[in-house]
């Protein structure tokens, strides 16, 4: 079955955006530091589109290429809107499932659809991925998937900086252990790219 995999750049102190993130500055104040090792060479009308991101090194490039071969995107509404709905196409025209508390009247752009239930959103994204994995975007969506037990893996690129403030990836989580298995640690020049498998809650409970 298609895996749901979170891809994120995270500072060592756990932030995925600086303070005051919004549509005009998706990474918040100082948060652009998280993308310092990327170059965006996209067209002028959307230079930040993920399909135009290039890593400065081979290890980072391999991780990004992996993310861009996924068969569907599952994203939180906030991330989706901050990114201008990616113009309706995140990469290669794959389906985009947008998790939202309430679906707006206006339909989303392009290949996107709104879904209000996290398990239903995960199921739709898996089904739509054509046998490939699902790329998960957004901190809030990631936490919703974690709580619902539908997040399979996390690919975290740990950027060597402390932001000190902003939006944390892991926040407002229930005080329950989530056991992980480190499945890959790539030592890119200057930063590590970690990949963890989320162990099923029953397995965790059995171990603790």
65 binds a copy of itself (CB under 8 A): no
Ramachandran assignment for 198, one of left (phi > 0), alpha (psi -120 to 50 degrees), beta (any other) = beta
Per DSSP, the three-state class of 207 is: helix
What is the rounded distance in angstroms from the CA atom of residue 19 to the CA atom of residue 171? 15
For residue 111, the 8-state DSSP code is T
**Applying CB under 8 A, which part among 40-48, 109-117, 120-128, 175-183 lies near a copy of itself?**
175-183
**Applying CB under 8 A, which part among 46-54, 74-82, 111-119, 179-187 lies near a copy of itself?**
179-187
Q: What's the Cα-to-Cα distance from 176 to each of 5, 14, 43, 69, 106, rounded to whole Å?
A: 21, 18, 45, 33, 38
Residue choice 62, 65, 148, 162 for contact with a copy of itself (CB under 8 A)? 162
Query: Total residues at the site for a copy of itself (CB under 8 A)?
Result: 39
Q: Which is nearer to a copy of itself, 109 or 180 (CB)?
A: 180
Give contact residues for a copy of itself (rule: CB under 8 A): 12-14, 18-19, 29-30, 33, 146, 156, 158, 160-166, 168-170, 173-182, 185, 187, 190-192, 194, 196, 208
């Amino acid at each position: 079955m298609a895996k749901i995999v979170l891809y994120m750049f995270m500072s060592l102190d756990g932030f995925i955006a600086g303070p005051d993130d919004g549509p005009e500055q998706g990474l918040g104040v100082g948060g652009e530091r998280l993308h310092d090792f990327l170059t965006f060479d996209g067209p002028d009308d959307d230079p930040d589109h993920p399909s135009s991101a290039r890593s400065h090194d081979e290890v980072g490039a391999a991780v990004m290429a992996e993310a861009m071969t996924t068969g569907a995107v599952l994203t939180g509404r906030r991330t989706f809107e901050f990114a201008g709905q990616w113009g309706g196409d995140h990469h290669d025209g794959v389906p985009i499932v947008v998790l939202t508390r309430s679906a707006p009247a206006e339909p989303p752009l392009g290949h996107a659809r709104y879904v209000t239930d996290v398990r239903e959103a995960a199921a739709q994204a898996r089904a739509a991925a054509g046998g490939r994995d699902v790329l998960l975007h957004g901190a809030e969506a990631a936490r919703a998937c974690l709580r619902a037990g539908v997040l399979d893996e996390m690919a975290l690129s740990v950027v060597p900086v402390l932001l000190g403030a902003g939006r944390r990836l892991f926040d407002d989580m229930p005080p329950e252990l989530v056991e992980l298995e480190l499945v890959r640690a790539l030592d890119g020049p200057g930063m590590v790219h970690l990949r963890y498998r989320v162990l099923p809650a029953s397995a965790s409970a059995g171990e603790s």
